[in-house]
Structure 1
Amino acid sequence: MSRSGARNRYRLGTVHALAAALATLPGTAAALRLDYSADLGVERNDNVAMTPVDPVEEDILRAGLDFALTHDTAVIQASLAGRAEYRDYLGDAYDDTLDGTAQGRLNWFALPERLSFTVEDNLSVQPVDTLAVNAPGNRQQVNVLSLGPNLHFDLGSSLRGRAELRYTDSDAEITDEFNSQRLGMAVRTIKELGPTSQLSLNVQGQRVDFDDDVIARDYTRYDLFARYARTLANFELGFDGGYSRLSYRDGPGSRSEPLLRANADWTPGERHRLSLSASQQFSDAATEALVAIGEDATTTPGPLLVGDAVVNASPYRERRIALGYTFTGTRLGFSVEPYVDRLDYVDADEFDQEGHGVAAAIGWQLRPRTTIGAFASVDRIDYLQLTVEHETRRYGVHLQHDWSRHLSGRIEWARHERLSNVPGDDAEQGLVYLSITYRR
Structure 2
Amino acid sequence: MRNIVPRFSVLAAAVLATFSGHALAARVDYTLDAGVEHNSNVTMAPADPIEQRYLRAGVGFSVRENVSVLQLNLDGRAEYRDYEDDIFADTVDGTLSGRLNWVAIPGRLFFVAEDNLTVQPVDSLVPDGPGNRQQVNVFSAGPTLLFNWTSSLHGQAELRYALSDAEVTDEFNSQRLAAAVRTIKELSPTSRVSLNVQAQRVDFDDDVVARDYNRYDAYGRYVRELAQFELGADVGYSRIDYRRGQSRSRSEPLLRADAKWNPSPRSQLTLAASSQFSDTATDALAGIESESTIPQNVLTGDAVVNASPYEIRSLDLGYRFTSTRFNASLTPYVQKRDYVESDTFDQKARGARFDMHWRLRQSLTLSGYATLERLEYTQIDREERTASVGAILAYQWAPRWTVRLHGERYRRESSEPNQEVAQNIVYLSISYSNR
Q: TM-score, normalised by structure 1?
A: 0.95
* Other-structure match for 2:278: 283
1:369 to 354, 363, 372: 363
1:256 to 251, 264, 277: 251
1:393 to 387, 392, 403: 387
Contact 2:268 2:319 in 1 (8 A): yes
The one-character-per-residue Cα deviations of 1:274-332 (angstroms, maximum 9, x if unpaired) are 11100000000000001001235x22122111100000000000000011111112222
* Other-structure match for 2:92: 98
- After TM superposition, the structure 1 stretch with the greater mean CA deviation from structure 2, 232-241 or 39-48, is 232-241
Contact 2:413 2:420 in 1 (8 A): yes
Would you say 1:319 and 2:345 are equivalent positions?
Answer: no
Contact 2:218 2:236 in 1 (8 A): yes
Ranges in structure 1 where 5+ consecutive residues have no aligned partner: 1-5
Contact 1:15 1:100 in 2 (8 A): no
- After TM superposition, the structure 1 stretch with the greater mean CA deviation from structure 2, 142-151 or 109-118, is 109-118
Would you say 1:51 and 2:45 are equivalent positions?
Answer: yes
- After TM superposition, the structure 1 stretch with the greater mean CA deviation from structure 2, 249-258 or 286-295, is 249-258
**Inter-partner Cα distance in structure 1 for 2:286 and 2:158:** 16
* Other-structure match for 2:403: 409
Aligned positions of 1:190-269 closer than 5 A: 190-251=184-245, 252-269=247-264
Aligned positions of 1:110-189 closer than 5 A: 110-189=104-183
3-state SS of paired residue (1:18): helix
The one-character-per-residue Cα deviations of 1:15-55 (angstroms, maximum 9, x if unpaired) are 47535643662422442111111111110011100101111
Contact 1:414 1:430 in 2 (8 A): yes
Task: Please report how far the alpha carbon of residue 183 of structure 1 lies from its aligned counterpart in structure 2 after TM superposition.
Answer: 0.8
**Inter-partner Cα distance in structure 2 for 1:240 and 1:91:** 56
**Inter-partner Cα distance in structure 2 for 1:304 and 1:235:** 34
Contact 1:239 1:261 in 2 (8 A): yes
Task: Please report how far the alpha carbon of residue 210 of structure 1 lies from its aligned counterpart in structure 2 after TM superposition.
Answer: 0.7
3-state SS of paired residue (1:157): coil
3-state SS of paired residue (1:22): helix
Note closer, same or farther for the CA distance 1:141–1:402 as it changes in structure 2 (3 Å cut): same
Contact 1:19 1:80 in 2 (8 A): no
Aligned positions of 1:401-440 closer than 5 A: 401-440=395-434
3-state SS of paired residue (2:214): strand
Aligned positions of 1:39-78 closer than 5 A: 39-78=33-72
* Other-structure match for 1:379: 373
1:328 to 310, 314, 322: 322
% identical aligned pairs? 54
Contact 1:11 1:99 in 2 (8 A): no
The one-character-per-residue Cα deviations of 1:183-239 (angstroms, maximum 9, x if unpaired) are 111000111111111111100100111111111111100000011112222221111
Task: Please report how far the alpha carbon of residue 77 of structure 1 lies from its aligned counterpart in structure 2 after TM superposition.
Answer: 1.4
Contact 1:171 1:180 in 2 (8 A): yes
Task: Please report how far the alpha carbon of residue 11 of structure 1 lies from its aligned counterpart in structure 2 after TM superposition.
Answer: 2.8
**Inter-partner Cα distance in structure 2 for 1:327 and 1:200:** 33
Task: Please report how far the alpha carbon of residue 270 of structure 1 lies from its aligned counterpart in structure 2 after TM superposition.
Answer: 2.1
3-state SS of paired residue (2:28): strand
**Inter-partner Cα distance in structure 2 for 1:230 and 1:405:** 44
**Inter-partner Cα distance in structure 2 for 1:276 and 1:108:** 31
The one-character-per-residue Cα deviations of 1:308-365 (angstroms, maximum 9, x if unpaired) are 0000000000000011111112222211110000000000111000000011122222
**Inter-partner Cα distance in structure 2 for 1:421 and 1:171:** 32
**Inter-partner Cα distance in structure 2 for 1:24 and 1:97:** 32
Contact 1:15 1:102 in 2 (8 A): no
Aligned partner letter, 1:161: G
Aligned partner letter, 2:428: L
Contact 2:4 2:166 in 1 (8 A): no
Contact 1:208 1:220 in 2 (8 A): yes
Contact 2:73 2:99 in 1 (8 A): yes
The one-character-per-residue Cα deviations of 1:216-266 (angstroms, maximum 9, x if unpaired) are 111100000011112222221111110000011103241111101111111
Ranges in structure 2 where 5+ consecutive residues have no aligned partner: none
Note closer, same or farther for the CA distance 1:24–1:87 as it changes in structure 2 (3 Å cut): farther
* Other-structure match for 1:3: none
The total of aligned residue pairs comes to: 433
3-state SS of paired residue (2:192): strand
Aligned partner letter, 2:254: L
3-state SS of paired residue (1:290): helix
Aligned partner letter, 2:417: P
Aligned partner letter, 2:240: L
